Structure formats: C-alpha cells, structure tokens
Structure 1
Amino acid sequence: MFNRRKPVLLVLVAMLLLLTAACSNKGKDSDKLTTVKFSEVIRSIFYAPHYVAMSQGFFKDQGLNVDMNTSQGSDKGAAALIAGTADISLVGPETSIYIYNQKGDKTLKVFHQLTSKDGSFLLSREKLDDFKWSDLQGKTIIGWRPGSAPQMVLNSMLIKEQVKDAKVITNLAAPAMAGAFASGQGDFIQLFEPVASTLVKEGKAYYAASLGEAFGPFPETSYVATSDYIKANPKIIQKFTNAVAEGAKWLNTASDADIAKALAPFFEGTPEDLILQSVERYKSQDTWPTNPELTQAQFDTLQNVLIENGVLKSEEKVANMDDIVDMSFVKNIGKSD
C-alpha cells in the first residue's frame, strides 16, 4: 500500500516545488518594478488614457508599479507632492503657477499635458430642447471649488456670454455634488463623466452643454512633479510619459469591448454603455491630444483665464514657461533609450 502511494506523493511534492518556484519568480518580477506614488485629482473617464496604461500593463512594460490614490482636488494633489506623499500628481497646471509664485523651497513642473479641453458637462434639472447660456440667468448652478480649472472655465463662460445673477455653489466636495443635485439642490450642475451620464440615465438630470466644446482649447489637466523629483528621476518620468502616451494611442484603435473591459475595474457599478458613451464624448471633442505637449499658446490661455477669474494678478504672470514646464519627456516619446 505504501509503495502505491509513494509515486503519488512524489508527484504532489514536485507540483508544490514548481508552484513555489513560480510564486518566487513572480515575486522577483514584482521586485524589479519601481513603485511610483501617484495622485489623481478625481476619478473620471476624462483620464481614460491613464487607466488604460494601468490595465493594459503599459506602466509595467516600462518597469513601473503605479500606486494610485484619488486626492479629490488639485490643491490636495499639489500638497501631496510638496509633502512627499506623492511622486507624481495629475492636477490642473495652474497649481504649478500658484506654487511658483509662493517662492517656497519647492517648485512643481508640468511634464505631460493629458487633456486639451475642459472635461465637464452642464446638466439641467428641467429638460431644455434648445439650451442657451441665457437660460442660466438667475439660476443656481452646483459647480466646483473656487480656483479649480472647471470652476474658472464655467465662470469665464458666464462672463463671455454676459450671464448675470447666476449663483454658483462652490463649497461642495466633489463626491457630494451629484447627490446634492439629485436631492433637489440647484437648477444646473457641472459634472465630469461618467457621473454626468449616470445622473442623466437615472432621469435626475438632462444634458445641456459641453463646457469643453463651448470654451474651446484649454490645458485642464497635467502630470506634475516637483523639480527635485524630475531632476533626480528623469528615467522614471520618461517611462511614465511613454506609458500614458501608449494608453492614449491604444484608446484610438481598440474595440468598444476592449475599451469597456479595460476601464470597468476603475468604475465599478458603471454600466458598459455609459463607459463607452463617456469615452466617445471625450473623443468627439478632441480631449486627448495626439501630441501631449503644453504649448506656449495653451499656457498663455491658462494664465489669461487665471487673471480673468481673479486668482492671478497680471504682474504675477510667469514670464518664462520653462520655469514650471518641462516638455522634453514628451518630445522623447517613441525614441529608444
């Protein structure tokens, strides 16, 4: 009886040894990856290229392990960089201007421009067959925090369209905005995808306008790191840039099924059709530039918006864009080491 069991035991031992070796190798492979502490401003399909780079393994292909958290605000994302709790943040590039003008020990630099339009959509409580900006006259709008990119884009649109007496609520935390509107607060709300489409599908709001299409080109969200981190880790910054660029490229050629599968893990509970609808909305307004470079023209537009919104004085304009922008990594995308 013992002899009959012996071959079986030997096989089991061999299998266990192989499994142990496989796990060991897996651990060694993981050890080879460089961890990057990453902070995103909010969770939105507006940043789809980044999530694709994670789900499709483009960061890992570059030797990076991205440890991601959501800061719920560019101010918090910038603070994480200064404090050292984040290596790279996805925030509004205006934060680099704010930090630069504080003349502190650290400065922030933009090294990759992810989006070239505002990513928010204006929704109404009542269905409007032909929305006009004058419809906002005397209405209450749930918007974003003061000084944030979407809040300033909306305010600039109100100024441009000469909308008066519109009350914009700016003291709600981002995660609470949709709930506040659904419970009856406000006549309009400014939201990103897929939250905007979710509210519409639930019958709690109606689509009115795209702020991105209405306002036009605007450098809303950038990858930013401290000057010190970039100087000490140029290879990591280049690899990070390469991975995100690969994610954007993949989005333009992948099938709907593959896109939904790639993004679904980051938006649990969001139906596939809303994910795809959100991606298509952002694609249709040229949200993700094929060349993710922050240009001088975009930088000038950004500073003009900051001045128009009263968060930057004319004399505080950054004269030399290179002081807070480094596009050398974008220019090296696709080049061999």
Structure 2
Amino acid sequence: MKMKVLSALLCFFIFIGPLTACSFQQEDSETIRLAEVTRSIFYAPLYVAMEEGFFEEENLNIELTTTWGGDKTMTSLLSDGSDVALVGAETSIYVNSQEPAEPIINFAMLTQSDGTFLMARNETAETFDWENLKGSTFLGQRKGGMPQMAGEFVLKKNNIDPHRDLDLIQNIDFANIANAYASGTGDYVQLFEPQATMFEQKGLGHIVASFGEESGAVPYTVFMAKEGYLEEKGDTLESFTRAIYKAQQWIYESSPEEIAAALTPYFDDTSEEIIADSAVRYRDQESYATSPVLTEEAWDNLQDIMEEAGELPERSDYEKFVDNQWAEKVMNE
C-alpha cells in the first residue's frame, strides 16, 4: 500500500458496499459488520464459526462483506462502513503511521503464516530447486502487500535477489494474477488456495514450495477495529473472539470431509474435494492460528519482513496497537 494512497484514504472515505455477503440473523442478537479483505479457504476458521453456529451460541449476528483489497477494507473500517476488519496486520501499521483520528487495534489473530504457495509451470516438487528461479519470469503479488513482502523475504533467504535475478511481474491486480498465469504468463507464480490445488489438478503446474513454511510465524491475517469500538463494545468482542477460538479448535480436530462440508456454502464454484485438500494443506503447515493471541515475537517478525522489503514506515509499538485481553481471557476459560 503506497503512502500517498493511505494519505488520500485518511482524508476521503467512500462507502464500500457488499460485493459478497453471508450472514445469519437471530432475534435480539448483537450485529457485527465484518469486512474481509478477500474470500479464501485461508480464512476457513471464520466460515466455520459462522456455519457451525459458534457466533450464534454467543448471540452474535455477523454481516460479512468481501471488500476485495486491503485499501478498500481499511476504507470501510475507517469510514464506519464496517465494525471489524479481517485483513493483513501490515495494513494497521501503514494506517497507524499516518496518525488517524482513532488508532486501529489488532485484537485477534486468524492466520499465523503466509498463505501462498509457489507453483512451477515446468517442474515438480521432486525436481525443484530455488536456484532454478534465477533467470525465470516470476508472477508475484502486489507491491506493499504481505504476500509480496513475504515472497521477497523467502526469495532472499534462498539467495535470490527478486529485482536482479528474476523478471519480476507485480503490476497485475490481485484478482487477476491466477488468470494471468493460467493464460500463460510466467514460469512461476505465487498463489493462494484453492487456486493452487485447482491449477495443479488441471495440469497447469505443480506446487513446489510453501511461502508460509519458509517465512515463519507472522500475524498474517488479523481481526482489527478502531480503538473507540473496542472501548465501547468490549463484551461483544469477547464473544466474537470466543467464537473464533472455538472454530480454531474445531478445524484442528475435524476430518477433511467435515471441514469441506462447513466451507462449501462459501465456495460455490469449488468442489468439496478441492476445498478439503486446500484446507488440510493449510492445516498441516499450521497456517491457521491455533489461538487468537497475537504474540510480540510474531509482530516483530512481521515488521522485520516489512523492513526487509523497504515497506515499513516506522516500527509499530506492540503494546499500543495489539490488545490480547479478549484472546487471553477466552483461552483461559
């Protein structure tokens, strides 16, 4: 996210209407308007909490809107178009560095690693070596976003300079990256699930590495809200966090078939087999957070990755911008 975009974002807000929304309603329940940055199997615990009734048990009604992009998600949150945002923790660092009227506070973690995989067009996991990327065309993610920063961090870790050793393409909109690769662009691509598994099954390439396993623990996707909302709605956020924690436990205890059944309503165009395979791939590498607590170690690792990418505006105070009180409380019950 460019700083000039953030400056404009903080000066002028537009309301982002729901492009994709799922909700359940319960009489006399508390409603939370939740904006998710994209629709992804990477966010499976959220959909589990909705589908398995964990929010309903907490007397909560979730109005879920997919805002398709970090800038749009934060615009929705800052302009009161939503109460809570599910988005990369780096967006809170970008926005808070601009000193908004109300700070953005991270209060519960959903995913704890990068969710992208490296797909190779002409080699398999058995033949893959990071050195093979040198001189290739690499279809990367949007500059300044967490997928791109984690991707570059991993490339450098494997002695690849992404701006010297590759023909790096990163000017394609997030929603069109998979289509660009499918149409023949790039030797390698960085993809989320289920696109990676779907493309592998279609013979478009092979998943050869996991950026999540390579980059380590980071607060990759986090629930956040404005400081005033946290102060006013503490009991509501405690209930919300409890439902998320139940879902995090459920997904690590359930069968692939049970997980697929819970997620299918949110992915109409994806088979249950692919949903199950994708979710289990994330679970096996522990991409889904096992608790909603956002640790200081993970927060510092996130900022180290941002700094390495040249995108960190300034170090962000963990004690000031992370509030684990509800996450710690529900875990200790």
Paired residues for 1:62-81 under 5 Å? 62-81=58-77
User: Which protein shows a greater Rg?
Assistant: 1
Amino-acid identity (%):
37
* Two-structure CA RMSD over aligned residues (Å): 1.5
Q: Counterpart of 1:163 in 2: which secondary structure?
A: coil
TM-score using structure 1 length: 0.87
Query: Which residue number in structure 2 is paired with residue 153 of structure 1?
Result: 150
Hey, what's the Cα distance between the residues in 2 that align with 1:157 and 1:253? Answer: 30
Q: Counterpart of 2:26 in 1: which secondary structure?
A: helix
Which shows bigger deviation, 135-144 or 146-155?
A: 135-144
Q: Counterpart of 1:333 in 2: which secondary structure?
A: helix
Paired residues for 1:68-217 under 5 Å? 68-128=64-124, 129-164=126-161, 165-217=165-217
Paired residues for 1:244-323 under 5 Å? 244-313=244-313, 316-318=314-316, 320-323=317-320
Letter in structure 2 aligned against 1:324: F
Post-superposition Cα deviations, 1:190-232, rounded to whole Å, max 9, x if no partner, equal 1111111011111112111111112222221111111111111
1:50 aligns with 2:46: yes
Hey, what's the Cα distance between the residues in 2 that align with 1:211 and 1:335? Answer: 32
Hey, what's the Cα distance between the residues in 1 that align with 2:304 and 2:207? Answer: 29
Aligned residues of 2:42 and 2:282 also touching (Cα < 8 A): yes
Letter in structure 2 aligned against 1:212: G
Hey, what's the Cα distance between the residues in 1 that align with 2:205 and 2:174? Answer: 17
Hey, what's the Cα distance between the residues in 2 that align with 1:69 and 1:140? Answer: 35
TM-score using structure 2 length: 0.88
Hey, what's the Cα distance between the residues in 1 that align with 2:193 and 2:119? Answer: 12
Aligned residues of 2:241 and 2:292 also touching (Cα < 8 A): no
Hey, what's the Cα distance between the residues in 1 that align with 2:166 and 2:75? Answer: 32
- The CA deviation at 1:335 is 5.9
Post-superposition Cα deviations, 1:75-124, rounded to whole Å, max 9, x if no partner, equal 22122111111111111111111111101212111001111111100101
Post-superposition Cα deviations, 1:42-69, rounded to whole Å, max 9, x if no partner, equal 1111111100001111111111111112
Letter in structure 1 aligned against 2:204: K
- The CA deviation at 1:334 is 5.1
Post-superposition Cα deviations, 1:256-293, rounded to whole Å, max 9, x if no partner, equal 33221101011112111111111111111111232321
Cα 1:176–1:33 shift into 2, 3 Å: same
Letter in structure 2 aligned against 1:189: V
Hey, what's the Cα distance between the residues in 1 that align with 2:111 and 2:282? Answer: 10
Hey, what's the Cα distance between the residues in 1 that align with 2:60 and 2:185? Answer: 43
Choose which of 21, 25, 30 in structure 2 pairs with 1:34: 30
Which shows bigger deviation, 142-151 or 169-178?
A: 169-178
Hey, what's the Cα distance between the residues in 1 that align with 2:147 and 2:37? Answer: 12
Cα 1:30–1:291 shift into 2, 3 Å: closer
Cα 1:195–1:105 shift into 2, 3 Å: same
Q: Counterpart of 1:310 in 2: which secondary structure?
A: coil
Hey, what's the Cα distance between the residues in 2 that align with 1:334 and 1:162? Answer: 40
Hey, what's the Cα distance between the residues in 2 that align with 1:212 and 1:172? Answer: 22
Post-superposition Cα deviations, 1:139-177, rounded to whole Å, max 9, x if no partner, equal 222222111111100111122222132133222222211
Query: Which residue number in structure 2 is paired with residue 25 of structure 1?
Result: none
Gaps of 5+ in 2: 1-24
Aligned residues of 2:256 and 2:280 also touching (Cα < 8 A): no
Hey, what's the Cα distance between the residues in 2 that align with 1:167 and 1:240? Answer: 44
Aligned length: 305
Letter in structure 2 aligned against 1:72: W
Hey, what's the Cα distance between the residues in 2 that align with 1:45 and 1:273? Answer: 13
